[in-house]
Amino acid sequence: DLGELNCYGEHGLSDYITHRIPMIIRWPGMKQGTVDSGFHYNLDLAPTIADLLGVQKYGGWQGKSYAPALTDGEECGHDHLVLGQSCHGAMRSVRFGDYIYIRTIHGFYHMYPREMLFNVVDDPHETHDLAEERPDLCAEGARLLLTWQEDRMYEMPDAIDPIWTVMREGGPFHSKGHLPAYCERLEATGRGQFVEELKKRHPSEFK
């Protein structure tokens, strides 16, 4: 196991290691030596810089400034983060507390279960799935994802969630059309026991 839920090389999942992006910021007037462990999106950077420059933020920006964390060491992150991608597979996840809840729609031909849950503080490489042990936390993760989806759909000009547009178009771009050849490779390398399950999960790939 080389990490990233055995999808190393592609970085194509909504997992913790792929989406955790460390950053170092140096700015005049910052509180030195501050380590901010709050939850922030990439899109939070623009309003943060605007606040540090003392200029007006645009009304349409969705980001939340974390300038107070840099200047005063104040905790000002999000309560949770929703992560997702639909280029290699189709997944969404939510990072909350010590956990990440991952929901798989298309697993990039890795046979992930629909729900996974990891304690990324104790298990940063996501080797022990807690979904069966903690259904309460899975329910909380699913609730947070549903609330996020509803909030985004209110803002959308279209009535369809984009991740389902991807699925209706045949699946994620880097997965679409490759399963028959992959199954042949599995058969040729002594891993044919996985083929039937893959055909069951992705019947449209064999039409």
pTM above 0.85, yes or no: yes
Return phi, psi of residue 160, to 5°: -120, 130
199/75 Cα distance (integer angstroms): 48
pLDDT tens-digit readout, 7-55 = 766 777 889 888 888 999 998 888 888 889 999 999 999 999 999 999 9
* pLDDT score recorded for residue 1: 57
* pLDDT score recorded for residue 89: 86
Dihedral, 158, 159, 161, 165 alpha carbons, nearest 10: -80
CB 195: neighbour CB atoms within 10 A?
Answer: 15
Query: Considering the chain, what percentage of its residues have pLDDT values greater than 90?
Result: 54
Q: Which pair of structure tokens corresponds to residue 178? A: 């490759």
Residues in CB range of 153: below 8 A, 6 or more apart? 159, 161
Is residue 2 scored above 80 in pLDDT? no
CA distance between the termini of the chain: 33
Report how far Cα 106 is from the mean position of its chain's Cα atoms: 13
Report how far Cα 164 is from the mean position of its chain's Cα atoms: 16
Q: Which pair of structure tokens corresponds to residue 162? A: 């984009």
Report how far Cα 70 is from the mean position of its chain's Cα atoms: 25
What is the identity of the amino acid at 124?
A: P
DSSP 45-100: HHHHHHHHHT-PPPTT------HHHHHT-----BSEEEEEE-SSSEEEEEEETTEE
Q: How confident is the model at residue 88 (pLDDT cuts 50, 70, 90)?
A: confident
